[in-house]
């Protein structure tokens, strides 16, 4: 191994630039995978944390399957079960805290409001009995609270101070009567208040949403028996254990993780191509050295291990640097998007590094490098010792595999056929086959495409004949040119594909956005779309807004959580659903849904009727295989209720979340929810805008959980947020495209080294430095044109696949927008890359000393 390492180190050191560039390809691939691996799980984890923060420490925690409240009398049924030592009913509710609510520097983004019975709760939570200061709650307390010392510190309050809290009744001030020691539990800090007060503040009189119980026995079997008895008492609409998580959004995040991992893998594949190409060249270049080693007694295994050791060194170094930079990338993205995430979803991000991520990154980075080096290593081992004795003649022309071309052509054919069927699985498979097919046919395309562009170049460099020379240089090594072009192609395909999808998505979303949220004013809660933690307002706020002079239409959204069981749902057969209550009369006046099935008029009329009707959104319809006319049983606090689907339609806020729209009347009857979480307001024609706005501001001031924004302002804000997310994305795409620059540079540099003698000869018979320079640049342009052409083609296909994929999955009906500007930009970038990549090798070739070059082995 000593010899192998020495040679690997010396060879790498001898060609520093190339070693650097090849290693860079590995670095970038690993960086993307690692960086995204650091960012996305931290995102998911933060989200999960905020969702699941409220799970308890009691032996049994009982919640309704929907996560919604139920009658406090249910507690009696639990207490009737033998073997339960103590059980308490409580209200637990996550309250998202609007930014700056507790001052500019406050880090508190969410609190859990816990309403407990002061007399019973301490039996379950021993820490309630040992406050470090003050006392615990007692019977007859009003607006008082007990909080932890840690929360008191972060809010900057002391015993007997007041702390304000957004509630459905507006902002309420609670007097702190006791401080508890800090809790070890993760998640939100709690504000503990008397149950009766909590029911009042959250507009849920007589209702609780969690029962905690401790069992009087310790035997595992006995405990299980008691749990079964409780289940029998309550029926199957209750969950025993933690809170059920509203995880539809987590699904979307996991999808994003998969997509980014795919991008990272493609980048690594691109890196693999580059490394493969480099090693092939290394082998070609060192034919003499390898032959000599064979002549003096090195066996094949030694030669293979020589090449692989070099790959290993690069793989290890590249992976190590990639992981380091990837971590910085992850941290950078976390910091960059942190502000947006906090304001849109109210979650805090901290980057996490999980051991499996490190292991996978290392395996991929080192593995791809070794794998890419394997074929060249094998071909090196086949170099015969005689090659050391003969002066080298570079190959005149290399044949390409006809079978490969044929297989590639068939794959492209199948891909196109798949595209025409419009059946998504086929379309997606087609995208993959299209890419591989192009890689396979690329060698056969080198000659015709080089000839075509060669003619253009010949015109450009008409008097020098360098265009033809460049074209000849390229076509005599079609498979090497094709591998380079393939690396460029994959790079640009990713850029054009993902860019094209973004383009279509942005267009669709912005259009939808102004349609759904195009009202004059909006009252926005801290977290839109993930409504669960939002504290809304009771019906009185809507009435107050409606009474403002000049206000024409007020429409509100109400939220309840539900679930749907259906065999069509993948996995557990059960999906969590956001149920949004709308006013079927007011809502269409001011907002709207984009209907995929059914019409607005019929659908809203059906919702207004005194029946259980619902409009479901695209993602829910697709996930549970629902059609118009289907009856779906929605889990409600009053039991399963059958709703008839009258239409399928979506709006921008709930695009990615299983959502059913029902009338607010039904939401109140079945879910006991009359709390508005989102408002849209339109002024009447000719209204006094300034006056109305002044009134609105004044009313909303009492409800700081809402932010009053102008519709146009909000659209601009959303668009800016959207862009700030995607600017990062575009930067990432640029990083992904970068390795293709290295690929071209590498191939050209290699070509120059290989043809040193020829270049010397050209100079000897009178070619000027300029001519040599131009030959190399022309070759680069041809190579770039080839890669760019294929890349744009593959990218368009991919973007179409992405868009069709979103459509077919039913998430949203998206119009495919041809990314014309993107194609032009990619072409320009591709060709500029070509010229940039040529600068160094061209300089090297044109500066060559003729005699030395002629003697070059």
Residues that bind another protein (CB under 8 A): 2-3, 6-7, 10-11, 13-14, 288-289, 291-302, 384-386, 388-389, 391, 857
Provide the minimum distance between the beta carbon of 1 and another protein in the complex, in angstroms, as a whole number.
11
Minimum distance between the CB of residue 757 and another protein, rounded to whole angstroms? 13
Shortest spacing between CB 21 and another protein, in angstroms: 19
31 and 326 in contact (C-beta within 8 Å)? Answer: yes
- List the end-to-end C-alpha distance of the chain, in Å, as a whole number: 28
Least Cβ distance, residue 338 to another protein (angstroms): 49
Residue 303: CB minimum distance to another protein, A: 10
Distance CA 43, CA 604 (A): 37
Is the CB of residue 682 less than 8 Å from the CB of residue 553? Answer: yes
Structure tokens at 140: 């007859």
Distance, CA of 276 to CA of 328 (rounded, Å): 28
Minimum Å gap between C-beta 286 and another protein is: 9
**Residue 32's closest CA among 24, 43, 21?**
24
Residue 265 to residue 581: CA distance in whole angstroms: 43
Shortest distance in whole angstroms from residue 749 CB to another protein: 17
Residue in 251, 253, 183 with CA at minimum distance from that of residue 42: 253
Query: Could you tell me the smallest distance in angstroms from the CB atom of residue 375 to another protein?
Result: 19
Neighbours of 297 (CB within 10 A): 8
| Residue (247 or 302) nearer to another protein, CB | 302
Q: Shortest distance, CB of residue 842 to another protein, whole angstroms?
A: 24
Cα–Cα dist 496/792, whole Å? 6
> Interhelix angle for 300-344 vs 16-52, to 10°?
40
Residues 670 and 313: their CA atoms lie apart, in Å, by 66
Residue 499: exposure state from Cβ atoms within 10 A (0-12, 13-18, ≥19): buried
**Residue 168 CB contacts under 8 Å (≥ 6 apart), including other chains:** 201, 202, 203, 535, 536, 537, 538, 675
Yes or no: say if 315 and 368 are a contact pair by the CB < 8 Å rule: yes
Quote the least distance from Cβ 267 to another protein, whole Å: 31
Nearer of residues 297 and 686 to another protein, judged by Cβ: 297
Element at 376 (helix H, strand E)? helix 355-381
* Least distance to another protein, CB of residue 302, Å: 6
Q: Is the dihedral of CA 793, 797, 798, 803 positive or negative?
A: positive
What is the closest distance, in whole angstroms, from the C-beta atom of residue 382 to another protein in the complex?
Answer: 10
CB 746 to another protein: min, Å: 20
Instruction: Classify residue 81 by its DSSP letter.
Output: S
Smallest separation, CB 2 to another protein (Å): 5
Angle at 269 between CA 266 and CA 274, to 5 degrees: 130
- Judged by beta carbon, residue 116 or residue 303, the one nearer another protein is 303
Question: Could you tell me the CA-to-CA distances from 856 to 279, 294, 625 in Å, in that order?
Answer: 20, 21, 70
Query: Taking the complex as a whole, how short is the minimal distance between the CB of residue 381 and another protein, in angstroms?
Result: 10
Half-sphere exposure for 695 (CA within 13 Å, toward CB) = 18
Residues 6 or more apart from 271 whose CB is under 8 A from it? 25, 26, 28, 29, 368, 369, 372, 739
In 3-state terms, what secondary structure has residue 646? strand
Q: Is 134 helix (H, G, I), strand (E, B) or coil?
A: strand
- Of the pair 265, 378, the CB lying nearest another protein is at 378
Smallest Cα–Cα separation from 60: which of 280, 214, 170? Answer: 214
Q: How far is the CB of 392 from another protein (least distance, A)?
A: 10
CB of 747 to another protein, least distance (A): 23
Write the CB contacts of 402 (distance below 8 Å, at least 6 apart in sequence).
none
Can you tell me the distance from the alpha carbon of 526 to that of 416, in angstroms, rounded to the nearest whole number?
46
Is the separation of the CB atoms in 522 and 711 below 8 Å? yes
- Secondary structure of residue 182 in the 3-state scheme: coil
Give CA–CA dist 774/756, Å, rounded: 16
Closer residue to another protein in complex, CB, 1/403: 1
Smallest separation, CB 477 to another protein (Å): 24
Q: Which helix (H) or strand (E) holds 602?
A: helix 600-608
What's the rounded Cα separation, in Å, for the pair 273 and 490?
10
Q: Are 636 and 626 in contact (CB under 8 A)?
A: no
Beta strands in 574-612 (DSSP E): 574-582, 594-597
Contact 352, 33 (CB under 8 A): no
Which of residues 281 and 654 has its CB atom nearest to another protein in the complex?
A: 281
Please tell me the distance from the alpha carbon of residue 292 to that of residue 281, in angstroms, as a whole number. Answer: 18
Taking the least distance from each CB to another protein, the nearer of 314 and 479 is: 314
Q: How far apart are CA 194 and CA 201, in angstroms?
A: 11
In sequence order, which ranges of 755-856 are alpha helices (DSSP H)? 756-764, 769-808, 820-846, 850-855
Nearer to another protein among residue 138 and residue 855 (C-beta): 855
């Amino acid at each position: 191994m000593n010899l192998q390492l020495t040679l690997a180190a010396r060879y790498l050191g001898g060609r520093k630039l190339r070693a650097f560039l090849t290693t860079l390809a590995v670095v970038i691939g690993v960086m993307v995978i690692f960086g995204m691996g650091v960012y996305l799980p931290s995102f998911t984890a933060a989200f999960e944390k905020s969702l699941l923060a409220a799970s308890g420490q009691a032996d049994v925690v009982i919640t309704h399957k929907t996560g919604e409240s139920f009658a406090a009398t249910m507690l009696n049924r639990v207490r009737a079960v033998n073997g339960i030592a103590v059980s308490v009913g409580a209200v637990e509710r996550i309250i998202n805290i609007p930014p700056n609510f507790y001052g500019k520097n406050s880090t508190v983004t969410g609190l859990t409001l816990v309403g407990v019975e002061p007399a019973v709760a301490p039996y379950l939570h021993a820490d309630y009995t040992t406050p470090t200061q003050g006392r615990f709650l007692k019977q007859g307390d009003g607006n008082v609270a007990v909080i932890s010392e840690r929360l008191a510190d972060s809010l900057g309050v002391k015993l007997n101070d007041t702390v304000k809290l957004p509630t459905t009744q507006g902002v309420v001030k609670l007097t702190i009567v006791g401080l508890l020691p800090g809790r070890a539990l993760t998640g939100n800090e709690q504000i503990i208040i008397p149950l009766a007060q909590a029911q009042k503040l959250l507009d849920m009189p007589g209702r609780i949403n969690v029962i905690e119980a401790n069992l009087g026995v310790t035997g595992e079997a006995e405990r299980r028996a008691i749990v079964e008895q409780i289940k029998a008492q309550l029926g199957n609409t209750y969950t025993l254990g933690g809170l059920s998580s509203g995880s539809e959004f987590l699904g979307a995040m996991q999808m994003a993780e998969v997509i980014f991992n795919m991008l990272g893998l493609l980048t690594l594949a691109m890196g693999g191509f580059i490394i493969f190409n480099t090693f092939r060249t290394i082998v070609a270049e060192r034919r003499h050295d390898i032959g000599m080693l064979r002549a003096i007694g090195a066996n094949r295994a030694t030669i293979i291990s020589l090449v692989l050791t070099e790959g290993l060194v690069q793989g290890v170094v590249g992976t190590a640097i990639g992981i380091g930079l990837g971590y910085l990338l992850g941290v950078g993205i976390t910091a960059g998007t942190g502000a947006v995430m906090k304001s849109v979803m109210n979650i805090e991000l901290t980057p996490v590094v999980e051991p499996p991520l490190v292991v996978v990154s290392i395996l991929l980075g080192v593995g791809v490098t070794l794998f890419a080096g394997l074929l060249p290593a094998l071909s090196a081992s086949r170099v015969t010792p005689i090659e050391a004795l003969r002066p080298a003649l570079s190959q005149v022309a290399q044949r390409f595999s006809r079978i490969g071309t044929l297989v590639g052509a068939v794959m492209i054919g199948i891909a196109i056929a798949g595209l025409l069927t419009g059946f998504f699985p086929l379309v997606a498979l087609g995208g993959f086959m299209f890419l591989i097919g192009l890689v396979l046919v690329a060698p056969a395309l080198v000659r015709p495409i080089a000839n075509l562009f060669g003619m253009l170049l010949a015109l450009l460099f008409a008097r020098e004949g360098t265009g033809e020379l460049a074209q000849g240089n390229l076509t005599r090594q079609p498979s090497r040119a094709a591998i380079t072009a393939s690396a460029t192609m994959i790079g640009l395909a990713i850029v054009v594909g993902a860019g094209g999808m973004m383009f279509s998505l942005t267009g669709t979303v912005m259009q939808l956005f102004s349609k759904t949220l195009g009202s004059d004013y909006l009252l926005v809660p801290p977290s839109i779309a993930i409504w669960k933690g939002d504290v809304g307002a009771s019906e009185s706020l809507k009435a107050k807004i409606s009474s403002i002079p000049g206000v024409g239409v007020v429409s509100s959204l109400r939220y309840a959580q539900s679930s749907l069981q259906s065999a069509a749902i993948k996995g557990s057969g059960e999906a969590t659903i956001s149920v949004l209550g709308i006013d079927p009369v007011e809502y269409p006046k001011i907002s709207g849904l984009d209907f995929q099935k059914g019409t607005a008029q019929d659908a809203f009329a059906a919702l207004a009727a005194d029946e259980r009707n619902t409009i479901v959104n695209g993602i829910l319809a697709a996930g549970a295989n629902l059609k118009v006319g289907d009856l779906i049983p929605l889990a409600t606090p009053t039991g399963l209720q059958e709703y008839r689907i009258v239409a399928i339609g979506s709006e921008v806020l709930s695009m990615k979340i299983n959502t059913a729209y029902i009338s607010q009347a039904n939401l109140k009857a079945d879910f006991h929810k009359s709390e508005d979480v989102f408002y849209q307001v339109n002024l009447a024609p000719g209204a006094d805008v300034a006056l109305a706005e002044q009134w609105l501001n004044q009313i909303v001031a009492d409800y700081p959980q809402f932010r009053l924004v102008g519709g146009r302002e909000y659209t601009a804000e959303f668009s800016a947020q959207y862009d700030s997310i995607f600017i990062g994305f575009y930067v990432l795409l640029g990083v992904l495209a970068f390795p293709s620059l290295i690929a071209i540079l590498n191939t050209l540099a290699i070509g120059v080294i290989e043809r040193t003698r020829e270049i010397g000869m050209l100079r000897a018979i009178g070619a000027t430095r300029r001519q040599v320079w131009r030959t190399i640049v022309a070759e680069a342009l041809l190579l770039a044109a080839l890669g760019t052409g294929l890349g744009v083609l593959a990218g368009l296909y991919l973007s179409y696949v992405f868009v069709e994929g979103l459509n077919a999955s039913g998430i949203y009906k998206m119009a495919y927008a041809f990314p014309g500007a993107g194609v032009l930009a990619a072409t320009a970038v591709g060709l500029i890359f070509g010229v940039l990549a040529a600068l160094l090798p061209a300089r090297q070739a044109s500066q060559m000393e003729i005699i030395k070059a002629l003697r070059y082995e």
